[in-house]
Amino acid sequence: MKFGGTSVATLPRWQNILELATSRRAEGARVVVVVSALSGITDALKQMCGEGDKGKRIEAARAIEQRHYELLGHMELELPPALDARLKDLLALAEDGPAKLGELAWQAQVQAHGELLSSTLGAAFLSRSGLATQWLDARDCLAAVALPNQNERTKLLSAMVDARPEPALNARLAAKGEVFITQGFIARESEGRTVLLGRGGSDTSASYFGALLKAARVEIWTDVAGMFTANPRQVPGARLLQKLDYEEAQEIASTGAKVLHPRCLSPLREPRVPLLVKDTNRPELEGTVIGPQVREHAPSVKAISARKGITLVSMESVGMWQQVGFLADVFAQFKQHGLSVDLIGSAETNVTVSLDPTENLLDSDAVAALAADLAKVCRVKVIAPCAAITLVGRGMRSMLHTLSTVLAEFGQLRVHLISQSSNNLNLTFVVDENVVDELLPHLHELLIAAGALRTDDSALFGPSWQSLYGSGEVAISSAWWREPGQRKRLLGIAAEATPRYVYHLPTVRSQAQSLKQLGAVDRLHYAVKANTHPAILSALAEEGFAFECVSPGELDAVSATVPTEVPLLFTPNFASRSDFERGLATRATITLDALYPVEHWGELFRGREVSLRVDLGRGLGHHEKVRTGGSGSKFGLPVDQLDSFLRHADAHGITVRGLHAHLGSGILDPKHWGEVYGQLASLAERIGSIAFLNIGGGLGVPSHPGEARLDLAALDTVLRQVKAAYPHYQLWMEPGRYLVADAGVLLARVTQTKGKGGWRYLGVDTGMNSLIRPALYDAWHEIANLSRLGEEADGLFQVVGPICESGDVLGSDRRLPEPAEGDVVLIAQAGAYGKVMSSPYNLRGDTEEVVLDD
């Protein structure tokens, strides 16, 4: 068990250590406690080493002595003779100065005292508190190894230990006692001198001991519960990583996370000793377990990290192509200047490398000197300050297809270098440093939304930092179907028949009510294409919604259900003349989105007021197939045809009363609608006859756990702002998905399971015939075994239907309890674009719909 500087600095923290060590004893384990120096002491010792004046050194030693006396006082301990002796040693070292031992050996000896003192004090405290604790000199156990390229400085101040399991040491300790306390950070070299382990020293010591003793585990006790999917200071929604393998953890540690020093993992790999990171203040939290690789998780990005202060050196040479020795020449310069290279990118005539400030002393002089020497063999450009953003996860290459939205984000930036590590564990982008702070939380969100960071896998991803340490998670309303009464009801409904869609009207109503709070919106329409069930149409009519239809069939369905005074919109695309004739026969406001109807059927619309759908030149949405703007999409009149449209309209006495745009579905950024509104308003100013602006639907609902909801308050603010600039236009919207997605679930029944090629398949009695969204858009729907809600979810399943298509997969790599034939499986968020997009394929029969009114 390793405790850092703040964890050993006060009495309450030592009581904590006592409690934790005692509890491990109670579990039957023998314990080695590895401690750092009291917080601030190592720095004070370093400072003392830099002090040429003897008097000042003695003063510093006295201050350090005082710190330990104070803690002793709080512990109500008499000065233990061993501590007294060590303090005297320190004083003598301060008096002597480096003369006797030599500068570096003296420094090592002085700095080692931080840990020698804290461990001696700790031994006295623990023993006095009833936990008989032996003081152990780490230098008797950890032998530093001689390494090639080592100079005296690295040998003494940045030593390494070759720690292999040593049964003899284990036996020696077993003979002495059950609980030991020892020092982090120090070891002994072959000539018997004390050496330091360098940065991250105490963590590394703990690992060395873990490996030597082949411990059951190494526990690193610190001030945070473990490693997170991103730096919580930048991304409060970052999730605790509950399980990592050594390589992944090492990669995360070396690309930014400060919780663990990357060096401390390699000693544990071979003896396969697991390492656990725990929060000293919150021992009840699970923490992060790092261990040997086990293939039982969905492939996932595990973390995103950012390192700032990166310097890029770009080296250009026309003569480089296939020139033998060019790289050797340039890298020799880096060696010469003592600079260690991190990332490398190369082209025919260019090599660009990065210098990481954590590995290098990067002052501008060092870089300038390097550049000057490099300039002799090539053209050099230094690019700084940059930041390296790294995605970490085992099998990165197999995940590339899930990263399209993330990659698109980098498409907007100046990316200086992309590197994919040869161990297939990371993908790194080097960008300008100033974009990082804003970018990181956004990328973290995108990774979750894209299903690349699989937050749904509860075995891997724990709670968010915010929920553990922040002001609490933004309350996420739990799905209605999880409520015990509703669950029982759903099981009853499934017992009668499956597959079945079930719609929960109170959820529809409450979504409707939340949209009614948007003060700037003058009229809300429900885009009925999302779900045309009459009970839903009626509920939304009662809530005061108008309706948007895209076909004569939808107009008929709505007309048959909602009262005759409710306004309708008819917004077809590539509709036939007869479709328009049918639309014109209703009270609906007609929306045109092409030149053709006014050019060829102008007479049909004579004397009418119409709305015009324009293409604003871009599309947005959760998947390429639902983006309805831009030159690649079939929707809307391109703005350059606007004048022509208006001329035709004028010629036929048609008044363009409204402008309309809908860019896509599943948008979670509230700024989007403000932009659409602003663009439509400025077009409207040109036209003159416009009374209303319809900014479409597309309001998204998050589907992955932890994904942020659409911020309606922010949307309200954005819309009010634009409205204030254009108060003379009515503002209309037409959401579909937002109103009904969460209200609906699809119930199916487990038919059989199958194991094949490392996969486990869980078959249910319906698939893409009922719900095509996963097959068509890779859409992510939460899947729960309703019969076993709350049971331990151990297995990882491909949830598949019975349709003769390999795309008939409702969910991949879902963590679910062990299923049995007949279990009821619930597919969530199926209220929008579910039943309406179902098909008779394979003649599996119609999927029934059931409505719940409370």
Residues that bind ligand LLP (CB under 6 A): 527, 529-530, 548, 571, 626, 628, 662, 665-666, 696-699, 734-738, 773, 777, 833
- Cβ-based nearer residue to ligand LLP, 251 or 734: 734
- Cβ-based nearer residue to ligand LLP, 202 or 551: 551
DSSP 217: -
Beta strands in 666-723 (DSSP E): 692-694
Contact 224, 242 (CB under 8 A): no
- Cβ-based nearer residue to ligand LLP, 113 or 662: 662
> Degrees (nearest 5) of the Cα angle 560, 566, 571?
80
Shortest Å distance, C-beta 215 to ligand LLP: 52
- Cβ-based nearer residue to ligand LLP, 224 or 699: 699
- Cβ-based nearer residue to ligand LLP, 552 or 698: 698
Shortest Å distance, C-beta 829 to ligand LLP: 10
**Nearest-angstrom CA–CA distance, 636 and 674:** 19
**Nearest-angstrom CA–CA distance, 406 and 443:** 6
Contact 461, 218 (CB under 8 A): no
User: Which residues, 6+ apart, have CB-to-CB distance to 805 below 8 Å?
Assistant: 768, 775
Which of 264, 378, 549, 804 is catalytic? The answer is: 804
In order of 42, 66, 115, the CA distances from 60 in angstroms are 12, 10, 17
**Nearest-angstrom CA–CA distance, 498 and 494:** 6
- Cβ-based nearer residue to ligand LLP, 238 or 661: 661
- Does 804 qualify as catalytic in the annotation? yes
SS3 call for 693: strand
Shortest Å distance, C-beta 629 to ligand LLP: 10
Contact 633, 594 (CB under 8 A): no
Which residue, among 148, 155, 36, has the nearest Cα to 102 in the 3D structure? 155
Contact 52, 106 (CB under 8 A): no
Shortest Å distance, C-beta 559 to ligand LLP: 19
**Nearest-angstrom CA–CA distance, 806 and 659:** 43
Query: Residue 567: is the preceding peptide bond cis (ω within 30°)?
Result: no
Q: How many CA atoms lie within 13 A of 110 on its CB side?
A: 32
- Cβ-based nearer residue to ligand LLP, 706 or 774: 774
**Nearest-angstrom CA–CA distance, 343 and 551:** 56
Query: SS3 string of 716-736?
Result: HHHHHHHHHHCCCCEEEECCC
Which residue, among 503, 498, 502, 494, has the nearest Cα to 765 in the 3D structure? 498
| Tokens matching residue 551 | 């076909």
Query: SS3 string of 607-669?
Result: CCEEEEEEECCCCCCCCHHHECCCCCCCCCEEHHHHHHHHHHHHHCCCEEEEEECCCECCECC
- Cβ-based nearer residue to ligand LLP, 267 or 736: 736
- Cβ-based nearer residue to ligand LLP, 521 or 626: 626
Shortest Å distance, C-beta 597 to ligand LLP: 16
Query: SS3 string of 289-354?
Result: EEECCCCCCCCCCCEEEEEEEEEEEEEECHHHCCCCCHHHHHHHHHHHCCCCEEEEEECCCEEEEE
DSSP 417: E
**Nearest-angstrom CA–CA distance, 554 and 657:** 23
- Cβ-based nearer residue to ligand LLP, 237 or 735: 735
In order of 348, 374, 386, 594, 639, the CA distances from 378 in angstroms are 13, 6, 22, 57, 50
Shortest Å distance, C-beta 517 to ligand LLP: 17
- Cβ-based nearer residue to ligand LLP, 465 or 503: 503
User: Which residues, 6+ apart, have CB-to-CB distance to 351 below 8 Å?
Assistant: 314, 315, 320, 327, 330, 344, 345
| Tokens matching residue 153 | 């400085």
Beta strands in 396-540 (DSSP E): 415-420, 426-432, 461-464, 500-504, 523-527
SS3 call for 189: coil
Shortest Å distance, C-beta 114 to ligand LLP: 60
- Cβ-based nearer residue to ligand LLP, 106 or 833: 833
In order of 308, 407, 409, 415, 439, the CA distances from 412 in angstroms are 19, 9, 6, 9, 11
Shortest Å distance, C-beta 598 to ligand LLP: 19
**Nearest-angstrom CA–CA distance, 89 and 111:** 12
Shortest Å distance, C-beta 667 to ligand LLP: 8
Give the DSSP H/E element, type plus range, for residue 797. Answer: strand 795-800
Contact 116, 83 (CB under 8 A): no
Shortest Å distance, C-beta 666 to ligand LLP: 6
Shortest Å distance, C-beta 258 to ligand LLP: 40
Shortest Å distance, C-beta 741 to ligand LLP: 8
- Cβ-based nearer residue to ligand LLP, 118 or 571: 571
Shortest Å distance, C-beta 622 to ligand LLP: 6
Catalytic positions:
804
